[in-house]
């Protein structure tokens, strides 16, 4: 058995408690471990829980250091523990050019609206908010209107892709896109009773929106000969039954318009942002992206590597059907998908939050948005300036 020595009396007692319980068959974890720590240290369970949660969050966001760990282990109140964790996060965010806090606040703002299913009042409220926001930032915004058949009752559902243009006079263009609709229900929830509950899509929907709004603050002053369009796709998942209902309604409509020559824009490249706010951020190279536009994948991951952002892993994982497929297959635009489909990370042993009631702002992170936003901003500067 390996025994370690920590400067923290709490860590020593907890470790010894785990070892003793393991010997007597208690396992040292869960309720039993916390009960032992409570008796041995005199600490309340709320302090033990706060310490565990703080270490978990800072480890997940890759902000933990040996010094911060010792501070948290030595802290003797919930407020002190929370202040240490908050300071670590705030210190990181304050040092970033891309404001992850601002992106996260927009994520929260659209989640407060509630469901943003295609054709709903929530979607219309979101469109009004984003139209006003992007126009105030100096963009030209075009609502690409179309309709689609409702999968249940066959009625016509009004939809709109939002095309946000920066420097529209520039002939050469690149695109950063996301979907901004939400799934009707959290139909993947492990609890069958919750599968008709409210789904706010914090990571799956709002994360791309929040990131693009903050990225928009840099666009007006972006110098170079390449223009940038943000495109928010409607109808990515107006899906009640995955085996029956069509996905990607907005991106397919957009791609057909490009292929038919109905749009003046000619895109050299496109980057899709989907599920990029996971606290436990792990961005692998998506297989379809490598198949269709591997040069672009290596270009973006190369930017992350040069910036030292290690959450972009240079390994392939997951073959995802997403809005980048119509862009590649119909519009012939080299397009890649930046997506963390392990939400949370697979090694956590937890059930996925994807399409469940757990996809809420509390499971997302301003730190993750700052990291992805930093990579996108630097990639655009290199692309636009070339």
By percentage, how much of the chain surpasses pLDDT 90?
A: 84
Q: Mean pLDDT in the chain?
A: 90
CATH number reported for the structural domain that contains residue 326 in this entry: 3.40.630.10
Let me know if residue 134 belongs to a domain. Answer: yes
Report residue 96 as tokens: 């970033």
DSSP E strands in the chain: the ranges are 140-149, 156-166, 172-179, 226-233, 266-274, 283-285, 312-316, 335-339
Dihedral, 59, 61, 65, 68 alpha carbons, nearest 10: -80
Q: Which domain holds residue 284?
A: 100-385
The confidence band for 40, taking pLDDT boundaries of 50, 70 and 90, is: very low
Ranges 16-25, 148-157, 209-218: which has the least confidence: 16-25
Q: Are residues 76 and 108 in the same domain?
A: no
Which of 50, 65, 94 is the C-terminal boundary of a domain? Answer: 94
Q: Are residues 343 and 308 in the same domain?
A: yes
Please tell me whether residue 137 adopts helix, strand or coil conformation.
coil
Q: Are residues 244 and 366 in the same domain?
A: yes
Let me know if residue 3 belongs to a domain. Answer: no
Q: Is the pLDDT of residue 47 over 90?
A: yes
- pTM score, whole prediction: 0.88
Please tell me whether residue 149 adopts helix, strand or coil conformation.
strand
Let me know if residue 2 belongs to a domain. Answer: no
Per-residue pLDDT at 348: 59
User: DSSP states of 208-261 as a string?
Assistant: HHHHHHHHHHHHTT--SSEEEEEEEES-S---S-TTTSPP-HHHHHHHHHHHTT
Q: pLDDT, tens digit, for every residue of 351-363?
A: 899 999 999 999 9
Q: In the chain, how many domains are there? A: 2
Let me know if residue 4 belongs to a domain. Answer: no
Cα separations in angstroms, 195 against 113, 191, 238, 245, 352: 19, 7, 15, 17, 14
Per-residue pLDDT at 347: 61
Q: pLDDT, tens digit, for every residue of 143-162?
A: 999 999 999 999 999 999 99
Q: Are residues 274 and 334 in the same domain?
A: yes
CA of residue 236 relative to chain centroid, distance: 16
Ranges 120-129, 291-300, 348-357: which has the least confidence: 348-357
Q: Are strands 335-339 and 266-274 parallel, antiparallel or unpaired?
A: parallel
Q: Are residues 131 and 220 in the same domain?
A: yes
Strand partners, 157: 148
Q: Are residues 69 and 117 in the same domain?
A: no
Q: pLDDT, tens digit, for every residue of 302-321?
A: 999 999 999 999 999 999 99
Instruction: Identify the DSSP state of 194.
Output: G
By percentage, how much of the chain surpasses pLDDT 70?
A: 88
Label residue 185 left, alpha or beta by phi (over 0 means left) and psi (-120 to 50 means alpha). Answer: beta
Residue 3: CB atoms within 10 Å: 7
Q: Are residues 67 and 216 in the same domain?
A: no
Let me know if residue 1 belongs to a domain. Answer: no
Q: Are residues 185 and 106 in the same domain?
A: yes
Please tell me whether residue 335 adopts helix, strand or coil conformation.
strand
């Amino acid at each position: 058995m390996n025994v370690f020595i920590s400067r923290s009396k709490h860590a020593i007692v907890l470790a010894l408690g785990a070892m003793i319980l393991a010997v007597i068959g208690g396992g040292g974890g869960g309720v039993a471990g916390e009960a032992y720590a409570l008796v041995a240290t005199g600490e309340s369970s709320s302090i033990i829980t706060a310490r565990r949660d703080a270490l978990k969050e800072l480890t997940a966001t890759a902000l933990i250091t040996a010094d911060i760990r010792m501070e948290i282990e030595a802290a003797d109140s919930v407020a002190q523990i929370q202040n240490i964790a908050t300071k670590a996060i705030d210190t990181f965010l304050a040092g970033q050019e891309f404001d992850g806090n601002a992106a996260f606040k927009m994520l929260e703002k659209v989640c407060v609206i509630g469901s943003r299913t295609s054709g709903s009042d929530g979607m219309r409220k979101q469109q009004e908010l984003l139209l006003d926001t992007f126009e105030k930032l100096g963009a030209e915004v075009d609502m690409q209107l179309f309709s689609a058949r409702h999968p249940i009752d066959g009625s016509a559902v009004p939809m709109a892709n939002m095309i946000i243009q920066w420097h529209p006079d520039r002939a050469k263009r690149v695109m950063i896109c996301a979907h901004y609709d939400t799934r009707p229900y959290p139909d993947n929830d492990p609890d069958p009773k919750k599968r008709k509950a409210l789904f706010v899509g914090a990571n799956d929907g709002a994360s791309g929106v929040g990131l693009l709004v903050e990225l928009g603050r840099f666009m007006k002053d972006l110098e170079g000969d390449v223009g940038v369009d943000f495109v928010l796709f409607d109808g990515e998942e107006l899906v009640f039954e995955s085996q029956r209902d069509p996905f990607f309604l907005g991106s397919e409509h957009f791609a057909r318009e490009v292929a038919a020559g109905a749009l003046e824009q000619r895109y050299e490249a496109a980057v899709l942002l989907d599920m990029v706010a996971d606290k436990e951020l792990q961005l692998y190279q998506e297989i379809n992206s490598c198949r269709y536009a591997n040069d672009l994948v290596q270009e973006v991951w190369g930017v992350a590597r040069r910036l030292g952002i290690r959450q972009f892993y240079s390994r392939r994982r997951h073959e995802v059907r997403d809005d980048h497929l119509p862009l590649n297959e119909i519009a012939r635009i080299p397009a890649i998908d930046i997506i963390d489909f392990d939400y949370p990370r697979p090694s956590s042993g937890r059930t996925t939050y994807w399409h469940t009631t757990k996809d809420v702002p509390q499971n997302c992170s301003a730190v993750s948005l700052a990291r992805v936003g930093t990579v996108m901003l630097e990639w655009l500067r290199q692309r636009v300036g070339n």
